Amino acid sequence: MRCSHKITMLNLLHRVSLPLLLGLLAPVSVPQLSQAADVLTPTVPTPSPSAPTAISTPKSTPTAIPANSSVTQPIRLEISRSKRRVTLYQGDVAVKSYAIAVGRPGWETPLGTWQVRQKLRRPIWIHPMTGEAIKGGDPENPLGNYWLGFWSNGKNWIGFHGTPNPESVGHAVSHGCVRMYNHDIEEMFSKVNLGTPVRVIP
């Protein structure tokens, strides 16, 4: 009897539909499954058919760019041989003008647009005719303590420098170089970099 009872129960189980068996199990709601796995698959709420879903677009607030930008305008130098002045420009604005001495007749400071190619402290001076050298820092060194070279013919150089003879500034007395008061060349040296344009006009 027991065996036939078991067979009867198995026959009964075969006749029961799958949905009925699933219904007998304890139901697990979809939100519970979602909550259990929200780290991997977050639950997205389903909108009600009667209530339209509003899609919100993040509002972007335009950022104002200040008028005084941090972009620095480039420095350039302009030498006027006739006025015996060099003017330092930042962009198109004249920042400062310095008194200079320029080349004497036959040794004129060359006209044209050049650029700073040498920037030296305590430069050595070599006499263009005799080749005599005077070391940097020597009180007799006609270049002073700062040198900004902007022109060369492959052998000789022309540039800005200080001088132990401040009375020569304002005249056409050099071998083509641009002499400046020592305090002026020191100041300009700190503002000028290699590649700074140098324009020489009559």
Which residue is catalytic, options 161, 171, 175, 183? 161
Query: Both tokens of residue 101?
Result: 């001495």
Report how far residue 105's alpha carbon sits from residue 174's, in angstroms, rounded to the nearest whole number: 9
**pLDDT per residue as tens digits for the range 106-140:** 999 999 999 999 999 999 998 878 889 999 999 99
CATH of 75-201, one of 2.40.440.10, 3.30.479.30, 3.40.50.1000, 3.30.830.10: 2.40.440.10
Q: Assess whether 3 carries a catalytic annotation.
A: no
- The answer to whether the beta carbons of residues 163 and 101 sit under 8 Å apart is yes
Every domain of the chain and the residues it spans: 2-36, 75-201
What percentage of the chain carries pLDDT values higher than 90?
A: 57
Which residue is catalytic, options 3, 127, 177, 183? 177
Q: Is the pLDDT assigned to residue 28 strictly greater than 90?
A: no
Q: Assess whether 14 carries a catalytic annotation.
A: no
**pLDDT per residue as tens digits for the range 56-108:** 333 434 444 444 444 688 999 999 999 999 999 999 999 999 999 999 999 99
